[in-house]
Amino acid sequence: MAGSKTPAVELDVAGRTVRVTSPDRVVFPRGITKLQVVEYFVAVADGITGALLHRPTTLERWPKGWHEGAHLATRMPKPDDPKGDGFYQKRIPKGAPGYVETATIAFPSGRTADEVCPTEPAVVAWAANMGTLTFHPWPVRRDDVEAVDQLRIDLDPQPGTDFSDAAAVAPHLRELLGELDLRGYPKTSGGRGLHVFVPLEPRWTFIEARRATIAIGRELERRLPGKVTTRWWKEERGEAIFVDYNQMARDRTIASAWSIRANGRATVSMPLDWDEVPHVHPDDFDVLTAPGRFAERGDLFAALRADRDPALDCSLDAALDLAARDEADGLEDLPYPPEYPKMPGEPKRVQPSRDKDRDRSKDAAAE
């Protein structure tokens, strides 16, 4: 993506002036420019700000724009690195304006970082000017970064399945959540999957939230055998919808509602009503179409805001009771992500096909 010599543009964003440099730089091959990206976030300001409000947020930045074959690095690339067109930024960038606030979070390694913690729409517009397309907020508020206040369930289609398969699981998940006194709010991932968020009382640990998510996933497996899986190792999942329980582990985040995804369509992670889920496709919602929907429907994820009415909060008690029953029946914990230290009660973190000590009789019995 070539640079731009067009003069900067200044936008009024909720009373603050945000400068957009290189406004005509093409960010997506469809011809969508940097100015259009920033204007998109301004158009959905109430929604995107609500999704990020008071939450430590990792920025997924694409300063050169997205193109076919673009590479997403886990950290900021060196200036002379030809790869790494995009990268995750977990620490506040140098030179951030004074109105950009932060929150201190701790990684599984024990190290800490001061992450951007959005408090107003101008922060989003400023980040977009730096090439941020996707915002990855933590499921906690900055006043207590150890207290999870959102349960996030990621229905991730595996090879051989797609969004329609995730959508087919959705009503069963909704029914199960209701049985557990949990109210879920669905959205497209912006890719192939479906996310369901639940507002929680801000008093649960990451371990408890992950444990509850595992229990929910396992119950879906029982109700939809062969169609849903919680198997961590890809070689064991088959053509099923994977409930990615580790998205509730510390420092594992999900793209926020109203975020743009780095793909050819410039899709948006779009909040939905439950009855819409079977009738939409992620490609229906992009940078150009989403503002009209927002103007018409408003923010369907408002119940997940950090400043929401506490009456909307749910309890994990019933889900944790389900987890306890599973454990009493002999179901152990599941593997953590590879960058984690070994966790208490975690089973061996070895790919099954490479585990020389694996009890193969259990595999035969399961077939």
Q: What is the pLDDT of residues 244-299, one digit of tens each?
A: 999 999 999 999 999 999 999 999 999 999 999 999 999 999 999 999 999 999 99
Q: What is the mean pLDDT of the chain?
A: 93
Separation between Cα atoms, residue 157 and residue 161, nearest integer Å: 5
- High-pLDDT (> 70) share of the chain, %: 93
Mean pLDDT of 72-98: 82
3-class DSSP state for residue 228? strand
Radius of gyration of the chain (CA): 21
Structure tokens at 31: 């011809």
pLDDT reading at 143 higher than 80: yes
Helix (H) or strand (E) holding 219: helix 206-223
Residue environment code for 317-347, b if the CB has 16+ CB neighbours within 10 A, otherwise e: ebbbebbeebeeeeeebbbbeeebeeeeeee
Separation between Cα atoms, residue 259 and residue 239, nearest integer Å: 28
Closest CA to 121 of 17, 197, 208, 33: 17
What integer pLDDT is reported at residue 359 of this predicted model?
A: 56
Q: Are 216 and 153 in contact (CB under 8 A)?
A: yes
Question: What confidence tier does 352 reach under pLDDT thresholds 50, 70, 90?
Answer: confident
Count of H-run helices and E-run strands, the chain: 9, 16
Handedness of CA 62, 122, 43, 183 (dihedral sign): positive
241/69: higher pLDDT? 241
Separation between Cα atoms, residue 37 and residue 42, nearest integer Å: 9
pLDDT reading at 80 higher than 80: no
What integer pLDDT is reported at residue 367 of this predicted model?
A: 36
pLDDT reading at 178 higher than 60: yes
Instruction: Give the single-character DSSP code of 77.
Output: P
What integer pLDDT is reported at residue 366 of this predicted model?
A: 40
Mean pLDDT of 143-164: 97
What integer pLDDT is reported at residue 253 of this predicted model?
A: 96
What integer pLDDT is reported at residue 6 of this predicted model?
A: 87
Separation between Cα atoms, residue 154 and residue 166, nearest integer Å: 10
3-class DSSP state for residue 321? helix
What integer pLDDT is reported at residue 121 of this predicted model?
A: 98
Mean pLDDT of 191-212: 97
Question: What confidence tier does 78 reach under pLDDT thresholds 50, 70, 90?
Answer: low
pLDDT reading at 364 higher than 80: no
What integer pLDDT is reported at residue 183 of this predicted model?
A: 98
pLDDT reading at 79 higher than 90: no
What integer pLDDT is reported at residue 165 of this predicted model?
A: 98
pLDDT reading at 363 higher than 90: no
Separation between Cα atoms, residue 107 and residue 339, nearest integer Å: 10
Kindly report which listed range (59-73, 141-155, 333-347, 349-363) carries the lowest average pLDDT score. 349-363
360/224: higher pLDDT? 224
Question: What confidence tier does 81 reach under pLDDT thresholds 50, 70, 90?
Answer: low
Question: What confidence tier does 302 reach under pLDDT thresholds 50, 70, 90?
Answer: very high
pLDDT reading at 212 higher than 80: yes
Separation between Cα atoms, residue 224 and residue 365, nearest integer Å: 20
Separation between Cα atoms, residue 154 and residue 195, nearest integer Å: 5
- Rounded to 10 degrees, the C-alpha dihedral 63/64/65/70 comes to -110
233/186: higher pLDDT? 186
